[in-house]
Amino acid sequence: MSTNQVIKQKSAFSQGGTLASSAVPVNIENIDTDQIIPARFLKATSREGFGKNLFRDWRYANDNENEIISHFPLNDSRYAGSILVAAKNFGCGSSREHAAWAIKDAGFEVVVSSFFADIFKNNALNNFLLPITVSDGFLAKLFEAISNDPATNFEVNLPEQTIRISTTGDAEQFDISTYKKTCLLNGYDDIDYLLSIRDEITAFEQKSNS
C-alpha cells in the first residue's frame, strides 16, 4: 500500500448507534495534547500508528518500551475496552489533531470527561471519536464503578444521547451537534455528508436561480 494512501476511518456508531464496553480510567486532570501524544511523534502525516505512543511518557520510563510503568491504567491488565474515561479538562494545550488520531488508533471509540478543550473536541468528532461531556458528579460515578469492578460495562446510546452504567442503571444525557451526530451515525466525513444532501443542494440552487 502506498504511504500516501488514506485509509478511511470508521464510526463505531454507524451500525445501530449504540456501543457497550468496559472502560479504561485515567483519573488525571488537565491532560494536555502533549501528554496524549508527545511532540516528538508528530512527524508522520498518516493517522495510522499513533496509538502505540498514546500517553507514551506515562506508560514507559526513560522512553523505553522495556521499562513499563505497570501502574498506569493503559498498562494495567485489569482495564480494557473502547471507552476512555478521563478527568476534567481533557485535551487542553496545543491544537494538534494527532491527539485524536492516537486515541482512535489505540482502539478507543469514546472518551468521557466533564470538560474538553474545544479544539480537541472538534478534532475528535472529525475523526469518528465521540467525546462525551458529563457532569462532575456523574464522572465521579463512572470512576467509582470502574474502581469497584474494572469489568463494568457502560452503554452509550448515540440516538438518545445517553451514557449508562450497566451495574447501577445510573445514566446521563450528553450534548452533540445534530450535524456531527448525523455524521457519526452514518459514517460520514464532511464530504460524505455533502454528497448525501446533494439533491437538496441542487434544488436550493435551482430555486435561487429561478
d(CA 78, CA 73): 8
Instruction: Please say whether the beta carbons of 68 and 56 come within 8 A.
Output: no
127: left (phi over 0), alpha (psi -120 to 50) or beta: alpha
Residues ≥6 apart with Cβ < 8 Å to 52: 105, 106
Q: What is the per-residue pLDDT across 29-60, written as a single tens digit (0 to 9) for each?
A: 999 999 999 998 887 666 778 999 999 999 99
Provide the 8-state DSSP code for 9: P
Measured CA distances, 110 to 12, 57, 148 (Å):
9, 22, 21
Element (H, E) at 131: strand 130-133
pLDDT band at 1 (very low <50, low <70, confident <90, very high): very low
Q: What is the per-residue pLDDT across 72-98, written as a single tens digit (0 to 9) for each?
A: 999 999 999 999 999 999 999 988 899
Q: Lowest-confidence range among 8-17, 74-83, 112-121? A: 8-17
d(CA 20, CA 17): 11
Mean pLDDT of 97-120: 96
| CA geometry: angle 56, 62, 67, nearest 5 deg | 80
Q: What is the per-residue pLDDT across 193-204, written as a single tens digit (0 to 9) for each?
A: 667 666 665 665
Q: What is the per-residue pLDDT across 132-143, written as a single tens digit (0 to 9) for each?
A: 999 999 999 999
Look at the alpha carbons of 153, 158, 159, 162 in this order and tell me if their dihedral is positive or negative: positive
* Residues in a beta bridge with 21: 154
Alpha helices for the chain (secondary structure H): 33-36, 56-59, 98-105, 118-126, 136-148, 178-186, 190-196, 198-209
The 10 Å Cβ neighbour count of residue 191 is 8
Collapsing DSSP states into helix, strand and coil, what is residue 6? coil
Higher-pLDDT residue of 49 and 22 is 22
The pLDDT score that the predictor gives to residue 192 is: 73
Q: Which three cell numbers stand for residue 127?
A: 475523526
Provide the 8-state DSSP code for 171: E
